Amino acid sequence: MGPSLAFNLLRWAVWSMKTALKAFSLIEVMIVVAIIGVLMAISIPNISKARLSATRNVCIGNLHQIEAAKRIWALEKMKTPTDIPVDSELFGTSNYLRDKPICPAGGTYSLNALANYPSCALFSTQGHSL
């Protein structure tokens, strides 16, 4: 009698595993690297745009907080539209905002008169405005 069926199946499994363990060719590796490069080229500009948009949105949120603090200050102190608050009147532990907001892109905030919105120094270059 010949070898058993289980032995033949085991021998076939070992043979198929040996032949299946081939290395990738250079062409296949180059194609994969090219695909990854194309995907990176597509995604990197979108990531930088999302970052700029996020910093602009945070800055606009800060400007909204400053504007609200200015309005409350003007109502409580009975100020005229031409009055300009100073930092010590709006920011501090006992004032309307505990800390003066900081622009995440490095701009500086100007409080301006009550009739005007507060502004960021990056208004013209990055669109940080109300």
Return the HEC string of the chain.
CCCCHHHHHHHHHHHHHHHHCCCCCHHHHHHHHHHHHHHHHHHHHHHHHHHHHHHHHHHHHHHHHHHHHHHHHHHHHCCCCCCCCCHHHHECCCCCECCCCCCCCCCCEECCCCCCCCEECCHHHHCCCC
Domain boundaries, the chain: 33-126
**Does the predicted TM-score (pTM) go above 0.85?**
no
C-alpha span between 82 and 28 (Å, rounded): 70
90: which 2 tokens?
Answer: 């709006």
Class of the domain covering 33-126:
alpha beta
Counting every residue written for the chain, the total comes to 130
Tens digit of each residue's pLDDT (9 = 90 or more) over 29-66: 899 999 999 999 988 888 889 999 999 999 999 999 99
The pLDDT of residue 21 is 58
**What are the 10-residue block averages of pLDDT along the chain, 130 residues in total?**
65 67 80 93 89 92 94 93 91 91 92 93 83
pLDDT of residue 101: 93
Q: Give pLDDT, residue 1.
A: 47
The pLDDT of residue 48 is 87
